[in-house]
Amino acid sequence: MTLKSDPAVEIEDSSSPAVVAPSVPVPGAPSDLELMLAIQAEDPEALSQLYDRYNGILKALILRVIHNETEADDLLQEIFMEIWNQAKNFSAQKGKPLGWMVTLARRRAIDGLRKKQAYARAEERLQSETEQQPEAWVNNATQEEIAFGDTRVLVREVISRLPPAQQEAVDLAFFRGLSQREIAAHTNTPLGTVKPRLELGLKKIYDGLKELKDEL
């Protein structure tokens, strides 16, 4: 299979030098599924293109979990290596390539966090980062992103509409891998309150995504 190049475009953004442009495949570029099939056939160029397309998203996800730039880079490399090694386990019937990669990256990031027993350190860093800047996932969209017309802007909208308590519960469950009991302890909330918050928050996000899907 010959694959057209699909380089990720980097934006010069003086306010945030570590931000890259949303990864949207250029017209005529291979789809994610085509790239996965090519990776299954052991084509390194396909992995190279998939990396260009999604390294920014996966790095952001890893960073959100482990809050350490160098460790996030190392883990990103390991995750793409795992994508290469595990590509044969991907099945299009079970979901989209990005979903599969995110699931894999999240699991590895949370495992890494647990292995290093870095909860306390990460918590401190998270605390100071929260004081210095707003939560990444409730940021307003930049003009570049709006102009890009990316669905991520809409996804952020859906999430940012959640009440803060639901947002926090979902955030701790997804990005920190905390159980309901751990969330209850972390937020000083009765255990019986945590599950409804998670249920409601996730339902709203899920329903919002369905609406988006119908609109697109």
Partner 1 sequence: MSFEEFQNDARLYVIGALEQEETEEFENARKEFGQKGEEYIGECYALHEAFALSLRPAKASADIKSRLMAMVQERKKS
Is the CB of residue 180 less than 8 Å from the CB of residue 195? yes
Which of these, 75, 106, 108, lies nearest to 174 by C-alpha position? 106
Residues 6+ apart with CB under 8 A from 25: 6, 31, 32, 53
- Return the range that interacts with partner 1 (CB under 8 A); candidates 41-49, 115-123, 124-132: 41-49
Helices (H), 116-150: 119-132, 143-148
Nearer to partner 1, 44 or 127 (CB): 44
Residue 42 interacts with partner 1 (CB under 8 A): yes or no: yes
> Looking at 40, 48, 187, 189, which residue binds partner 1 (CB under 8 A)?
48
Site residues for partner 1, 153-172, by CB under 8 A, read 155-156, 158-159, 170
Residue 66 interacts with partner 1 (CB under 8 A): yes or no: no
Q: Which DSSP string corresponds to 76-104?
A: HHHHHHHHHHHGGG--GGG--HHHHHHHH
> Looking at 17, 27, 28, 190, which residue binds partner 1 (CB under 8 A)?
17
Helices (H), 177-215: 180-187, 191-215
- Look-up: residue for tokens 């290469």? 84
Binding site for partner 1 (CB under 8 A): 10, 16-23, 42, 44, 47-48, 51-52, 55-61, 63-64, 72-73, 76-77, 80-81, 84-85, 94-96, 98-99, 102-103, 105-106, 136-137, 139, 151-152, 155-156, 158-159, 170, 173-175, 177, 179-181, 195, 198-199, 202-203, 205-206, 209
